[in-house]
Structure 1
Amino acid sequence: MSTSASTTSVAAPAPTPSAQRPGTGFRWARLLRYLVVLAGVVVVLIPVYILVITSFKGIGDATPSRAWALPTTWTTENWTQAWDTLAPSILRSLQMVIPSTIISAVLGCMNGFVLSRWRFPGADIVFTLILFGMFLPYQAVMIPLMQMLLWAGVPNGVPSLILLHVVFGIPITTLIFRNYFESVPHELIESAKVDGAGMFRTFWHIGLPLAVPGFVVVLIWQFTNAWNDFLFAVFFSSPANGPVTLALNNLANGALLTNYGISMAGALLASLPTLVVYILLSKYFLAGLMQGSVKG
């Protein structure tokens, strides 16, 4: 006896909008992020646009009312005059920035290695005292610094600025290198100690070669800070022996009365060295910064 089984077909549920178009929400979120980034880029580039187009305008064309307009006649005279005015101070800035950056980086590397891998009694107290220098407001110590440099007989201008940037750069460079050496495996240092290497030999043959990414971070940081410094330049130098920031300020104060284009060209010239450093070393800067942020 055969019975026919009745089959009932169950209707499939209607697909939801998310099932019809998978990943739609993710695409909209990604698009929103791109729009936010694009808006940020536009906001950042607006001053750059004004700087660039104004630097190529003539005297009558470089006015506030025509700030957004392209030059009526393109000219490089502003760049020539700005270079003639700023070239000596740019050279003095290089003479000041390069040694101060290298010296503070080397001292910070040695301090960071000792404080992280070669512990001694009171190391934490010494490290805290070094970091205390990061929180001293420069404005509060200008008069004591000036009296100290006068008493020590340090010449005004580039020598004074080199000394100041080295001293005030040691806290941040020590912190960066200490955090970086904390991420280095302990076995490397311990193996050198087992082989009989002392502190200086271990630092020279193991610590220093491993610290190259940390050096990139510190060099960029110190170069930028020293190059853009204006406060020390005002107190410890003059337009005749000061860095480019002081000369740029004097150029802008005079140019604003006659020609905005010269001050804009001068600002671009003064920013070129730091821009070149960032372009060449930005990849290594991020890598070294991440490697040095593992421990703190």
Structure 2
Amino acid sequence: MTLKPSLALFAFISSTVWASTPEPDVDIAPLGQHLVVNLPQTRVLLYQDGVLLRSYPVAVGKQITRTPTGSYSITGIHRDPTWHVPKSIQAEMVKKGQPVKTEVPPGPDNPLGKVFIRFGEPRLGLGFHGTNQPGSVPGVRSHGCVRLKNENALALADWVSNGAQVTIAYQPLVLNEDEAGELWLTAYRDIYGMKDPSYRHLANTLLEWQRDKSKVLHGARVDVAIRERTGKPVCLSCKDVATATITGGLSIKRWLSVEPEPVQQEATVPVQGRALQSKAPVVSPS
């Protein structure tokens, strides 16, 4: 796939602007378009030929109607869509005592907004779309689709093509490295209460990184980041966290998509303030 001519300058500028966006450990397609949604991050990341171009805030499925993880592709782009109300949502209308609608035509009252970008098979009913409730983005509010503000949904529709890859991931903990070789941890809320599926890999990953880089990690910062879950990158290796800045942008740290190297169970690696041990996680999940 090639960039549409009107977006060539946009791609050149965006590759620098969005360099400091935390990126989950997803295997990005080296060629073509690839959209990545890390559900706890509530953002969609747009890649072209392996380069991050832009990121938009999104609302994802709520607890009872979770957005399913997996690999998909874009299968249709529909502007000014009519919303054919699913039976499950019609049942919700009945429970709430609302008038039951079977379809909503294009217009300001349409929950799909100005465009619906389907991914996966039509029977799944999944897609990126706009909204008539812009205040709900970002958030955990949808019935399973990925909701964007209308202006962002339209920009996405202008850029993406049928066949583009889509990855829906669930990674509450994201590790990245900057160009100075510092390690950054970004912790998001565990929105579906899945006990951080990545958490069990964290301690051994940090131990291995320390060993390979011969740099000290500040273990207390791991505890704070996981406890507070601010969604802001925290430097684990910088000397002064208060003045730490990302150098040159962040890049994906491979740690969930690769087999971790075995670490001796009794191994203890010194870190600033205390020892980080491989036989147990750094802290208990919050």
TM class, shorter-chain normalised?
under 0.3
Task: Point out which structure has higher relative CO (alpha carbons under 8 A, 6+ apart).
Answer: 1
Q: TM-score, normalised by structure 2?
A: 0.24
Q: Which structure features the higher share of strand residues?
A: 2
Higher gyration radius (CA): 1
Q: Which structure features the higher share of helix residues?
A: 1
Q: TM-score, normalised by structure 1?
A: 0.24
